[in-house]
């Protein structure tokens, strides 16, 4: 029997509650499919920090490194200054475990959950590949004359050819595999006749960020020909924001840098029904990957059994797929689609018509 060791960081606020439902559903599909999941719980987060002053001990990073997958609920605590837990836990793990891809599938499960007029599940189905280790997140920069009227703050975007190349390679490979054998989903249907099965859009800002995105654009152009079935497109980030709203059906796979990826995936989360369903993976294809619901710790909903656990459950589905249990991952996604379409009133916290635990039970029962 296949067996998987998974590190679990429930984290702050509603993180532990939604994690519980995600683990419940994962257990249910594991039992049905005949594999075993061994959870290893870690208590990192705001409460521990407030008690001990410790965010993430060095030894923990080394311990987590031994796992192929980490499941993360949420980080962010109202009594902890913003940045401490985000940088100390989430970003530190992304960086030190070299999770250089942030993968964000954007899929609308039910028309009524999309705020866009006349758009349905057939229009909103794409995936964003966000570079996850560099760019503005690298922490390069500093102050001059801090605290004086002459203060200067500089924050630099770091883009290495190695970092960009490995991100592009991941995106091209994903585009090639992801859509093989599936219906064409690109800007121009006639391109299918030229043997293209997928479309990869580079999202950048080549007209202003003429160093960073010049590097990205050249690397993109050089990589493209190695993937003859993938049609390449380029769009500026601001235009992408318009098109996500106007024509989300134009997109298939999108690749972009860390900061733009952060921003466009929040917009994308809204058109797929909100943070109640949006999930993501921080991927190191050869090391330790980490899966998380996209929403934060939602402190005001903590302990009320009202938060939507579907994003957390979707993150678990991504994790199982990544571990090699693609059927189990797909079964969870189908169960989620089924209960959204038959039971759930709204995806918003407190408006689902069911409590957090009940939604977890419904998904587990629908498997």
**Tokens in use for 133?**
């280790």
Residue choice 86, 96, 191, 358 for contact with ligand IPM (CB under 6 A): 86
**Tokens in use for 82?**
């913003």
Query: Residue 90 binds which one of ligand IPM, Mn ion, none, with CB within 5 to 8 A depending on kind?
Result: ligand IPM
List the 125-131 sheet strands across, edge first: 35-42, 2-11, 69-74, 289-293, 279-283, 101-107, 125-131, 253-256, 198-204, 230-236
Q: How far is the CB of 262 from ligand IPM (least distance, A)?
A: 4
Contacts of 37 (CB under 8 A, 6+ apart): 3, 4, 6, 23, 26, 27, 30
**Tokens in use for 278?**
């949006």
Binding of Mn ion at residue 86 (CB under 5 A)?
no
Query: Residue 29 binds which one of Mn ion, ligand IPM, none, with CB within 5 to 8 A depending on kind?
Result: none
Residue choice 6, 90, 101, 312 for contact with ligand IPM (CB under 6 A): 90
**Tokens in use for 52?**
């001990």
Residue with tokens 């599938």: 105
Q: How far is the CB of 255 from ligand IPM (least distance, A)?
A: 16
Nearest CB to ligand IPM, comparing residues 86 and 249: 86
Pairing of strands 2-11, 253-256: unpaired
Site for Mn ion in 260-289 (CB under 5 A): 262
Binding of ligand IPM at residue 96 (CB under 6 A)?
no
* Cβ–Cβ < 8 Å for 293, 311: yes
Residue with tokens 């758009």: 119
Q: What are phi and psi of 118, to 5 degrees?
A: 65, 15
Q: How far is the CB of 174 from ligand IPM (least distance, A)?
A: 19
Rounded Cα gap, residues 159 and 204, in angstroms? 13
Q: How far is the CB of 103 from ligand IPM (least distance, A)?
A: 11
Q: How far is the CB of 367 from ligand IPM (least distance, A)?
A: 28
Nearest CB to ligand IPM, comparing residues 171 and 364: 171
Rounded Cα gap, residues 286 and 291, in angstroms? 15
Query: Residue 86 binds which one of Mn ion, ligand IPM, none, with CB within 5 to 8 A depending on kind?
Result: ligand IPM
The pattern of x and - marking residues 256 through 275 that bind ligand IPM according to CB under 6 A reads ------x-------------
Nearest CB to Mn ion, comparing residues 151 and 266: 266
Left, alpha or beta for 98 (phi > 0: left; psi -120 to 50: alpha)?
A: left
In this chain, which stretch among 70-78, 109-117, 139-147, 259-267 interacts with Mn ion, using CB under 5 A?
259-267
**Tokens in use for 244?**
């996500």
Binding of ligand IPM at residue 311 (CB under 6 A)?
no
Q: How far is the CB of 283 from ligand IPM (least distance, A)?
A: 13
**Total chain residues near ligand IPM (CB under 6 A):** 4
Query: Residue 233 binds which one of ligand IPM, Mn ion, none, with CB within 5 to 8 A depending on kind?
Result: none
Rounded Cα gap, residues 322 and 316, in angstroms? 10
In this chain, which stretch among 84-92, 159-167, 249-257, 329-337 interacts with ligand IPM, using CB under 6 A?
84-92
Contacts of 16 (CB under 8 A, 6+ apart): 10, 73
Query: Residue 173 binds which one of ligand IPM, Mn ion, none, with CB within 5 to 8 A depending on kind?
Result: none
Q: What count of Cα atoms within 13 Å lies in the side-chain half-sphere of residue 281?
A: 23
In this chain, which stretch among 18-26, 57-65, 85-93, 221-229 interacts with ligand IPM, using CB under 6 A?
85-93
Chain-centroid distance, C-alpha 52: 30
Query: Residue 361 binds which one of ligand IPM, Mn ion, none, with CB within 5 to 8 A depending on kind?
Result: none
| Contacts to ligand IPM by CB under 6 A | 86, 90-91, 262
């Amino acid at each position: 029997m296949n067996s998987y060791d998974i590190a679990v960081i429930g984290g702050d606020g509603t993180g532990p509650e939604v994690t519980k439902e995600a683990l419940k559903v994962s257990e249910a599909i594991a039992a049905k499919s005949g594999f075993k999941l061994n959870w290893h719980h870690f208590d990192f987060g705001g409460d521990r920090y407030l008690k001990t002053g410790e965010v993430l001990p060095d030894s923990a990073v080394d311990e987590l490194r031994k796992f192929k997958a980490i499941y993360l609920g949420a980080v962010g605590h109202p009594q902890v200054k913003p940045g401490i837990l985000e940088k100390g836990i989430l970003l530190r793990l992304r960086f030190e475990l070299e999770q250089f891809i942030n993968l964000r599938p954007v899929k609308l499960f039910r028309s009524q959950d999309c705020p866009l007029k006349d758009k349905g599940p057939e229009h909103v189905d794409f995936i964003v590949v966000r570079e996850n280790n560099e760019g503005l997140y690298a922490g390069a920069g500093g102050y001059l004359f801090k605290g004086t009227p002459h203060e200067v703050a500089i924050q630099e975007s770091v883009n290495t050819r190695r970092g960009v190349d490995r991100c592009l390679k991941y995106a091209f490979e994903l585009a090639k595999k992801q859509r093989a054998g599936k219906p064409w989903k690109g800007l121009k249907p006639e391109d299918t006749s030229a043997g293209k099965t997928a479309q990869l859009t580079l999202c950048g800002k080549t007209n202003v960020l003429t160093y960073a995105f010049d590097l990205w654009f050249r690397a993109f152009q050089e990589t493209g020909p190695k993937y003859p079935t993938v049609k390449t497109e380029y769009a500026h980030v601001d235009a992408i924001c318009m098109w996500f709203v106007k024509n989300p059906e134009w997109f298939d796979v999108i690749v972009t840098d860390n900061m733009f990826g952060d921003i466009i995936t929040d917009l994308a989360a809204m058109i797929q029904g909100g943070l109640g369903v949006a999930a993501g993976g921080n991927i190191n294809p050869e090391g330790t990957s980490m899966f998380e619901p996209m929403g934060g710790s939602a402190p005001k909903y903590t302990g009320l059994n009202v938060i939507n656990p579907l994003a957390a459950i979707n993150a678990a589905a991504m994790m199982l797929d990544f571990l090699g249990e693609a059927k189990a991952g797909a079964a969870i996604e189908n169960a989620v689609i089924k209960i959204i379409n038959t039971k759930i009133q709204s995806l918003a916290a407190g408006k689902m018509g069911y409590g957090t635990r009940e939604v977890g039970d419904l998904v587990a029962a629908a498997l």
